[in-house]
Each structure stands twice: as structure tokens, then as C-alpha cells.
Structure 1
Amino acid sequence: MKTFLIPVDFSDVSYTAAQYAVDMATYLHASKLIFYHSFAHRPSDGYDEHTEYKQATHRHLEKMVRKLHIPSFFSPDQFVFVADDSPVKVGVEAIVADHAVSLIVMGIAGLSDIENTLIGRNTMDVAKSGAAPLLIVPRNHGFKPIRKVVYATDLKDVGHITPAASIIRLAGQLGAETHVVHVDPATQGQTPEKILGKQEVLRMLEPLNPEFEVISELKDKASGIFDYVKKHHIDLILMASKNYGFFEKLFHSSVSKKLLNIADVPVVLLKNKPVN
């Protein structure tokens, strides 16, 4: 992973995500970090001129980075500051296209954050876009070496949906043990379609020799996944960005309303295209 994109709104949540991004970039030896702020929702008073507001935003981005803990071996030319008045989703997509972004890192506080705050809505918009792999960092979460990852799947259309190359590349770069989990209290993964889906996903991820488990005790998919995460000390949850509907349901389930406010595990939405 060479280039990280970090959209921020200068909130505490985005500061946490920015520090996590810097620490992960250090861990993975990334060569470029792009800090981006959209001022599409800037107040009507204060700065009247677009150029003046853009310059002020650049100063705020530079000030933000100075507050982060940056390893001494990062040089100033490894940091890029971008500000514009595009909607965040549009701005992010343009930067991804121009800079070959490997990973987008954004913050989130919980379900209430998704529904009621600007950074929450922006994070979900970028997630839905699938412009590049997106890492969503929970509130107050600090980076630690990632030893175990879990790929959550609904075992539907596995051959088309599973971002196998991205999972293999990311788990390989992290040196992480890989798990695959499917929550299915109704059929326990024993329908012909799901048996074939399991075989296919394990074949696709064979280089990682993943552990596979069907969770059948809990009726709610979100609680099943997060229970597995806690039980097995998982450091990172992986999901397919093309399976956004599955992801969205998890993050809007009744159990997630409680879990997302205490969950201490980041989520990565991966594209089918391999990460850089």
C-alpha cells in the first residue's frame, strides 16, 4: 500500500482516524499521505472568496498534521494537502483517480454518527461509492499491529463479489492470520448454494489458508460477527465493497446500534481490484 487518502472534517473522530492512518502507513511503509477536506458545506459568512477559503483550509490541514504524531523519517514531500468545494464523495473519487490511492481512511463514532453527523454521512457515501478500499476507524481507536483479520461473507454470488486478490494482498502485507465467517442461524450454511459458496471462497483464498466458521447460535448477523471478533481477538474486519447492501444492513441493525458505539475493531471495505 503506497498512497493513503485521509478525508477529514477536523472533528475529534477525524483526528483519531488521521492518526490511525499515519500509524498504519508507517507500519506498511506507505510513501504518500493525502489529507483532504471538502468545504462544500462552509458557512455563508466569514470567507467570501473561494480562493481565500481554500487557502485557510490548507492552513488548517497543515496545522492538523502538525498535531499528529509523525515518525521522523517521513519527509514533508510525502504529505499532500487538498481542499475543494466538491461534495466529499466527488472529491474523493477525483483524488483516487489522480493519485492511484491504495486506501481511504475515515472515522466513525457509531450508528448515531452515521445518521446524524456530517462525517458519518460522508463516510457512508464514500463506502457506497467503492472508489477505493475504505478503512473505517471507530471512535478513540488507536493503531496496533494487525495479527488477525476476518472476512465476513453472506456466501451469495461468491465468485463475483469476493475481492480475493485484495484480501490476499492486504492480509499478506499485514502478515495476518485470516478467518472467514458466515452468520446463518436458519440453515447453518448447509444449503447447496452455501456449501458451494464456502468451497468457492476457500478456493479463492487458498494462499492464505483461512479458517472458516459458520455462526448459527445468534439470529442477528451483526451480533454474530462482533461476537466472533471478540472471541477470536480479531484486529480487522474485511468486507466486499460490492456487497454494500450486506454491510449497510449490519451497520443499521438493532444490535449494531449498541455495538458500534463500543466496537474497537476497524472495518475495511475492499474492491475486487487488488490493492496497490
Structure 2
Amino acid sequence: MKNFLIPVDFSDVSYTTAQYALDMAAHLQAEQVIFYHSYAHRPADGYDEHTGYKQTTLRHLEKMASKLHIPAPLSVRQFIFLADDQPVRLGVEAIVAHYSISLIVMGIAGLSDIENTLIGRNTMAVAESGAAPLLIVPRNHAFRPIKRVVYATDLKNVEHVTPTASIIRLASQLEAETHVVHVDPATQGQTPEKILGKREILKMLAILHPLFEVVYEPGDKAEGILEYVKKHHIDLILMASRNYGFFQRLFHSSVSKKLLNIADVPVVLLKNRPVA
């Protein structure tokens, strides 16, 4: 991976997320790490519009980075600090386009955080954008080498919606064992469509030699995925992010809200195009 982007709001969640991002960037030998803050929600007074607030924000970003542990082989020379007054989604999209971002890293604290706090709403907005792969880090989660990843699939239209290249690139760079899980308490994955979907997805990911399993005991899909994660000691959950209707389909669904609320491992929302 080349360039990491860390949008921050200087909250405690931002600090723990930034530390996770630095540790992962070092592990994957990233070239640049970009710290970004949007001051679109700045106070109405107290700073000069064109110079004071931006410069103050950049100093805060530098101060934030100085409080983090910088693991080898990263160094501060690889850090870039950016700030502007655009909404977070627009600012992130512009940075992704200019710097060829491999991975955006943001944090959440749980379901209430998604719905009620600024960082939660910003994370949702960036997820809706789908500008680049987005890694969502649970509160207070420390980085550890990722040995196993799982891709959660509904086995529908897999040829068109599975981010195959991104899964292969990320799993290969992490040197991680790849699992594919389908939660289906109703049909246990035995409909003609799902049998075909399983065959196709295993063919598409064949280079990774993935392990496939259907989970059919729990009635709740999110709980089924999390049970699989715990049982197999999964370090990272992969999900597809489809741009069309993504916000409504993913974050407004009870399944995904519950998954993000109870997951104690990070979740990556992957695009169909490969990770750089």
C-alpha cells in the first residue's frame, strides 16, 4: 500500500484510530501518511477566515502526530498535514483524487457513535462516497499483525459486485489466510443461485485458496458473521462497498449497524477497483 489517509477531528477516537493507522502503515511499508482535518464546523468567530484557522489547524495536526508512536520504518518525513473548510466527504474525495490514496482509516465507537456524533457522521459520509477503500476501526482497538481475513458475501450477483482485485491485493499484502462466509439460516446456501455464487466466488479468489463456510445457526446475519469471526480468530472483516445506493443499503440496514456496533475487529469496505 502506498498512501494512507487519516481524517481526524481530534477526539479520543481519532487518536486511537490514527495510532492504529500508523502501525498498519508501517507494517505494510506505506510511502506517505496524510493527516486531514475539515474545519467546516468551525466556530463562527475567533479566527481569521483565510489564514488563522487553517494555520492553527495544521499546527494541531502536527501536534497530534507528535503524540503518537511512530513505528519503524515510518518517519515524520513521510507525513503530510492538510486542512480545509470543505465538508469531510468532499475534502476526502479531493485528497483521494490528488494523492492516489490506498486506504482511508477512520474510527467509530459504536452504533450510538454512528448516529449521534460528528466523527460517526463523517465516517458514514466517507463510506457513502466510496472514494477509496475505508478501514473502520473500533474504539481502543490496537493494531496487531493480520493473519486471517474474512469476506462476508450474500452470494448474489457475485461476478459483478465482488471486489475481487481489492480482496486479492489486500489479503496478499497482509499475507493473510482468506475466509469467505455466507450467513443463511433459511436455505443454508443450497439454492441454485447460491450454489452457483459459491462456485463463482471461489473461482474468482482461487489464487488465495480461500476457506468457504455457510453459517446457518443464528437467525441474525450480523451475529452470524461475528460468531464466525470469534470462532476462527479473524483479524479483519472485508465487505463490498457498492457506490449506488450504498449508504442506504449498508448503513441504514439493521444488519450492518449491528455488525459495526458489536464488532471488536476492524471492518474494511472495499471498492471494485484494486487497492493501490
**Which SS does the other structure have where 1:233 is aligned?**
coil
| TM-score for the superposition, normalised by structure 1 | 0.95
- Residue correspondence of structure 1 range 46-65 to structure 2 within 5 A: 46-65=46-65
| Aligned pairs for 1:1-276 within 5 A | 1-71=1-71, 73-242=73-242, 244=246, 247-248=250-251, 252-253=254-255, 256=258, 260-276=260-276
Structure 1's consecutive aligned runs of 4 or more residues displaced over 6 angstroms after TM superposition are none
SS at match of 2:141: coil
- Letter aligned with residue 272 of structure 1: N
The count of aligned residue pairs is 273
Letter in 2 for 1:49: E
- Percent identity of paired positions between Structure 1 and Structure 2: 74
| Whole-Å separation in 2 of the counterparts to 1:189 and 1:157 | 14
Go from structure 1 to structure 2 and tell me whether the alpha carbon gap of 1:154 and 1:123 turns closer, same or farther (over 3 Å shift). Answer: same
C-alpha deviation, 1:48, in angstroms: 3.6
Deviation of 1:267 after TM superposition, in Å, equals 0.2
Q: What is the SS of the residue equivalent to 1:10?
A: coil
Indicate how the Cα distance of structure 1 residues 74 and 199 shifts in structure 2: closer, same or farther if over 3 A, else same. Answer: same
In 2: Cα distance, 1:242 partner to 1:208 partner? 22
CA drift at 1:25 = 0.3
Deviation at 1:246, TM superposition (A): 5.3
Contact residue 29 and residue 73 of structure 2 kept, 8 A: no
Cα deviation 1:53-107 (Å, max 9, x = unaligned): 0000000000000000013543333100000000000000000000000000000
Q: Deviations over 1:85-138 (max 9, x none)?
A: 000000000000000000000001000000000100110111111100000000
Helix, strand or coil for the counterpart of 2:154?
coil
2:107·2:136 contact (CA, 8 Å) conserved in 1? yes
Report the Cα offset of residue 49 of structure 1: 2.0
Q: SS at the partner of 2:51? A: helix
Deviation, 1:186, is 1.0
Q: Is the 8 A contact 1:220 1:255 kept in 2?
A: no
- State the SS of the aligned residue for 1:185: coil
Q: CA deviation at 1:47?
A: 1.2
Deviation at 1:261, TM superposition (A): 4.8
Distance 1:265 1:72, change over 3 A: closer
Distance 1:148 1:75 in 2: 28
Contact 1:239–1:247 (8 Å) recurs in 2: no
TM-score, normalised relative to structure 2: 0.95
Instruction: Give the Cα–Cα distance (whole angstroms) in 1 for the partners of residues 67 and 196 of structure 2.
Output: 51
Distance 2:98 2:257 in 1: 39
1:230 shift after superposition: 0.6
Distance 1:241 1:82, change over 3 A: same
Structure 1 residue 254: Cα displacement: 9.4
